[in-house]
Amino acid sequence: MALFDELSARLVPHGQEHVLAFWPRLSESQREELARQVSVLDMSRLSEMRTAIDLLARPVARELAPAPVVELADRAFPYRLGAEAERARERGEQALRDGAIACLLVAGGQGTRLGFPGPKGCFPLLPLSQMTLFEVFARKLLRVGRQFGRVPPLYVMVSRQNEGQTREFFEAHRFWGLDPSRVRFFAQGELPSLDGSGRLVLESQGSLFMGPDGHGGVLSALARHGCLDEMARDGIATISYFQVDNAQVPVADSAFIGLHLTRQADVSLKVVRKEDPSERVGIFCADHGVPQIVEYSEFSETQSKQRNPDGKLAYWAGSIAVHALSVAFLRGLVARGIDLPLHAAHKKVAVLNAQGQLEEPAAPNVYRFERFVFDTLPLALRVVALEAPREEQFLPLKNADGPFGPDGVRESMQTYWRKALAHAGLPASADAPPVIEVDPALCENAREIIEFLRKPGNRPMNLAGPLHLR
């Protein structure tokens, strides 16, 4: 009973004693697991969770205005970055040569929505080689290493659910040529859920309903696992942050990094031009003059459709979850005890009834919580946003089908590379090979593949069948 009493002492003062309602029915291993969950709970977070629920019901008033972005210089394929970003490229290249950049891959998600039984990074995406998302990023890193003389260290944020599988997958594939000592796995945190009465939710008689704390959990996870101190010790000044579902994203974009450094920004982000007012992406803008990402749902219909005199959307800068983050800035937040705010979402979740049986609800009944990495923006002294070409750098794999399903993503890749072949003087897209795959270790984008194909000896001889450029 000592363990039961110890747990009760933590739960009762906060009105959460129901968590132990089924204690007599639990096996020894079930009791140990429930005790582990309860012992690591920060009960002081309950008030923060209730505040997040209140904000969901009664959002604060916003005073929104568009925020400045370094826009593309040419939006015609194959695109040109803004002049300021191009001028800053040399600074970014020097930082990569100096070893001052670390890459951070957020890979805590499972492939559930893809119908895939494993971490999303293990999903085989490329059409000819069946290269997985993890290998895509590894080969991009190797390419950066060839360009700048050293491969940036890779930090991989996993979840408790997929950490073991992710580590095993990297090991089974010998890290695809990366130095294992330069790949660092660290797990994000977890958060419990609350019901409408503010009570912790049970997933089973011996387990709390827990979930990952969102991509914004990266700040506390980096600090908790000692990664920020490790980076500072190793001379890492900037983190290149990207997410596992976007195979098109550059892992270490020298122009973006250079812009971040020349502007002396704490946080930088990439955006793409939003053409459809109803597109469900967060928008980079200012709220009461403070740069931040505002969810599309927080815009009125009038605001979302507002246009400039040139006819283009006023609020067009859609965030693609790509950032450059100052290590000194993040360490400063941690030193001051600042964590990113919680956000609540009301979900339908099967929960236990008084008899200990799962019941499916007819309406949303549980509040889940997460943190967002873009909430670093309002905390930053300096923020810079760079427009990136959508089809070149933003192609997220989200669903089992549709444009963001595997087939839709592969077809979008095909369209992009067919345009590149046409610009290189090879057959127009209608006559291009039926399947094209470009090795991520070879070229990053259409401009580079065009340059590669125009060099003597690099033009593929057989364009009648599948084309695999390696």
- CATH code of the domain covering residue 213: 3.90.550.10
Check whether residue 21 and residue 90 sit in a common domain.
no
Contacts of 171 (CB under 8 A, 6+ apart): 180
Give the number of domains in the chain.
2
pLDDT at res. 428: 58
In a domain, 155, yes or no: yes
Cα(336)–Cα(357) distance, integer angstroms:
44
Q: Summarize pLDDT for 428-445 with one digit per residue, the tens.
A: 555 667 899 999 999 999
End residue of a domain, out of 395, 413, 439: 395
The angle formed by the CA atoms of residues 396, 402 and 403, to the nearest 5 degrees, is 45
- CB-based contact 22:358 (threshold 8 Å): no
Q: Summarize pLDDT for 343-366 with one digit per residue, the tens.
A: 999 999 998 888 889 989 999 999
Q: What confidence category does residue 122 fall into, taking pLDDT thresholds of 50, 70 and 90?
A: very high
In a domain, 470, yes or no: no
Strands (E), 53-169: 64-66, 101-106, 154-158
pTM to 2 decimal places: 0.95
Check whether residue 32 and residue 58 sit in a common domain.
no
- Residue 157 pairs in a beta bridge with 106, 186
Check whether residue 35 and residue 49 sit in a common domain.
no
pLDDT at res. 320: 96
In a domain, 306, yes or no: yes
Element (H, E) at 185: strand 183-187
pLDDT at res. 461: 73
The least confident of 237-246, 264-273, 450-459 is 450-459
Check whether residue 312 and residue 355 sit in a common domain.
yes
As a dihedral over the C-alpha atoms of residue 442, residue 446, residue 447, residue 453, rounded to 10 degrees, the angle is 60
In a domain, 408, yes or no: no
Distances (CA, A) of 67 to 70, 289, 394: 10, 8, 21
Question: Taking the CA of residue 465 as centre, how many other CA atoms within 13 Å lie in the half-sphere pointing to its CB?
Answer: 4
Q: What confidence category does residue 71 fall into, taking pLDDT thresholds of 50, 70 and 90?
A: very high
Stretch 63-80: mean pLDDT, rounded? Answer: 96
Q: What confidence category does residue 457 fall into, taking pLDDT thresholds of 50, 70 and 90?
A: confident
Burial of 130 (C-beta count, 10 Å sphere; 0-12/13-18/19+): exposed
pLDDT at res. 275: 84
The angle formed by the CA atoms of residues 278, 281 and 286, to the nearest 5 degrees, is 100
- CB-based contact 372:345 (threshold 8 Å): no
In a domain, 454, yes or no: no
Place of tokens 């470009």: 438
In 294-326, which ranges are continuous DSSP H helix? 301-305
Check whether residue 145 and residue 265 sit in a common domain.
yes
Q: Summarize pLDDT for 167-176 with one digit per residue, the tens.
A: 999 999 999 9
pLDDT at res. 467: 86
**Angle at which helices 28-40 and 2-11 cross, to 10°:** 30
Cα(387)–Cα(86) distance, integer angstroms:
12
Check whether residue 172 and residue 98 sit in a common domain.
yes
β-pairing, 101-106 vs 238-243, is parallel
Element (H, E) at 95: helix 83-97
DSSP 110-144: BSGGGT-SSBGGG-B-STTT--BHHHHHHHHHHHH
Q: Looking at the predicted structure, is the pLDDT value of residue 245 above 60?
A: yes
Check whether residue 268 and residue 380 sit in a common domain.
yes
Q: Summarize pLDDT for 305-345 with one digit per residue, the tens.
A: 999 999 899 999 999 999 999 999 999 999 999 999 999 99
Stretch 96-120: mean pLDDT, rounded? Answer: 95
Q: Summarize pLDDT for 263-310 with one digit per residue, the tens.
A: 999 999 999 999 888 898 999 999 999 999 998 878 888 888 999 999
Q: Summarize pLDDT for 32-70 with one digit per residue, the tens.
A: 999 999 998 989 889 999 999 999 988 888 899 999 999
End residue of a domain, out of 395, 430, 461: 395
- CB-based contact 434:465 (threshold 8 Å): yes
13 lies in which domain range? 1-43
- CB-based contact 88:225 (threshold 8 Å): no
In a domain, 418, yes or no: no
In a domain, 421, yes or no: no
Check whether residue 10 and residue 152 sit in a common domain.
no
Q: Looking at the predicted structure, is the pLDDT value of residue 179 above 60?
A: yes
**What is the 8-class DSSP label of residue 307?**
B
Check whether residue 30 and residue 138 sit in a common domain.
no
End residue of a domain, out of 351, 366, 395: 395
What average pLDDT is seen over the chain?
Answer: 94
In a domain, 462, yes or no: no
Cα(327)–Cα(376) distance, integer angstroms:
12
Q: What confidence category does residue 1 fall into, taking pLDDT thresholds of 50, 70 and 90?
A: low
Check whether residue 1 and residue 49 sit in a common domain.
no
Cα(316)–Cα(306) distance, integer angstroms:
10
Check whether residue 24 and residue 168 sit in a common domain.
no
Check whether residue 326 and residue 223 sit in a common domain.
yes
SS (H, E, C) 227-290: HHHHHHHCCCCEEEEEECCECCCCCCCHHHHHHHHHCCCCEEEEEEECCCCCCCCCEEEEECCE
Q: Looking at the predicted structure, is the pLDDT value of residue 425 above 90?
A: no
Cα(276)–Cα(316) distance, integer angstroms:
9
